[in-house]
Amino acid sequence: MDTLEIKARLESALHSRITSAEWTYLEDIGLVSDYENGGCDWPEFRCGAKDNLGNIRTFRVNDRREQAGEMKAAYDEGSLDNQLENPPVDPEDRAFARGLALSALDRLHSGGSAPPRARMHSTLLPRGGVDGTLPQWVYITAVELWMPAEEVMKNYRQMQQTMMAQPDPPRTQARALNVARFVWEQELHYGERPSWPVLCERWNKYPLTRPFRSWRDFRTNFLRGARATPPRYVATEEQLTEQVKSHARERAGLFYYWADKVLAATVQQPVD
């Protein structure tokens, strides 16, 4: 995929046109080359681009307001009433509004030196596959504790909708899942799967299990549980395993890259 194709795909994903200047900025900070060279996957690239585009677009709006004299009037006159009468934004979203207010408070406390800070940082990493286990996506999120739980859930659900083939699978009952687990444990212990009548008899002998009337009912529950256990992603197991292999040497680097962004605003205290 060449640069123009990446740009077009990103515009489609963000539902927004990206200007030449904005795209050049994403290239200058290394985000585009990171994606092209495999330093980050598509979800991380898309989220990073969204955050950076939001920051530079906010700066552009504020810069135009400053050039027009609007921001000068609001700050130089020192009138709180004037600032309240001419707010730069007035979002209805409570969490978003609180995040903006926190940013203003951070800037006030830091004398204007504090950079913009995302209140929620997320990254997506692959694992498994190469060690015999099922390959999985792992979504890591760092959230400031004040963030409403529903906002965190919304972010998580959006990622599920994007990456999972069945973000809302049928609600399989726990009993079917327990039967599947029992059968797999028996198969691992004995080196082969015992017959269904034998498995059903062993299940029924355990004092904490509800017995089945027939081994056929037991088998039906196993099949139902076996289908429901593995998560189904948009990517195939082979594709996910390849992701793990390609990230094998870089997984720690990707994690620490994400962690550095989370801790970017941490002030290093001088060591005596």
Q: What is the pLDDT of residue 159?
A: 86
Report pLDDT digits (tens) over 166-176: 888 888 999 99
**Could you give the CA distance from residue 184 to residue 238 in angstroms, rounded to a whole number?**
22
Whether residue 54 lies inside any domain: the answer is yes
Whether residue 114 lies inside any domain: the answer is no
Report pLDDT digits (tens) over 86-143: 455 666 778 878 888 888 888 888 888 877 777 887 778 888 888 899 999 888 888 8
Whether residue 124 lies inside any domain: the answer is yes
**Could you give the CA distance from residue 6 to residue 187 in angstroms, rounded to a whole number?**
47
Whether residue 113 lies inside any domain: the answer is no
Q: Are residues 255 and 135 in the same domain?
A: yes
Q: What is the pLDDT of residue 17?
A: 83
pTM: 0.58
Q: What is the pLDDT of residue 254?
A: 61
Residue closest to 41 by CA, chosen among 207, 240, 264: 240
Q: Are residues 82 and 11 in the same domain?
A: yes
Domains identified in the chain, total number: 3
Query: Which residue range is the domain that position 164 belongs to?
Result: 120-169+233-262
Query: Do residues 7 and 23 make contact, with C-beta atoms less than 8 angstroms apart?
Result: yes
- Rounded (5°) CA angle 174-178-184: 145
Q: What is the pLDDT of residue 255?
A: 63
Q: Are residues 149 and 56 in the same domain?
A: no
Whether residue 199 lies inside any domain: the answer is yes
Report pLDDT digits (tens) over 12-21: 888 888 888 8
Angstrom distances, CA of residue 244 to CA of 98, 128, 210, 232, 239: 38, 7, 40, 17, 9
**Could you give the CA distance from residue 95 to residue 106 in angstroms, rounded to a whole number?**
16
Give the pLDDT mean for 263-267. 54
Q: Are residues 71 and 139 in the same domain?
A: no
Whether residue 106 lies inside any domain: the answer is no
Query: Do residues 72 and 60 make contact, with C-beta atoms less than 8 angstroms apart?
Result: no
Whether residue 36 lies inside any domain: the answer is yes
Whether residue 95 lies inside any domain: the answer is no
- The 3-state secondary structure of 98-139, one letter per residue: HHHHHHHHHHHHCCCCCCCCCCEEEEEEEECCCCCCCCEEEE
Q: Are residues 140 and 242 in the same domain?
A: yes
**Could you give the CA distance from residue 116 to residue 142 in angstroms, rounded to a whole number?**
16
**Which is higher by pLDDT, 196 or 124?**
196
Q: What is the mean pLDDT of the chain?
A: 80
Q: Are residues 40 and 154 in the same domain?
A: no
Write down which residue in 88, 108, 137 finishes a domain: 88
Q: Are residues 139 and 65 in the same domain?
A: no
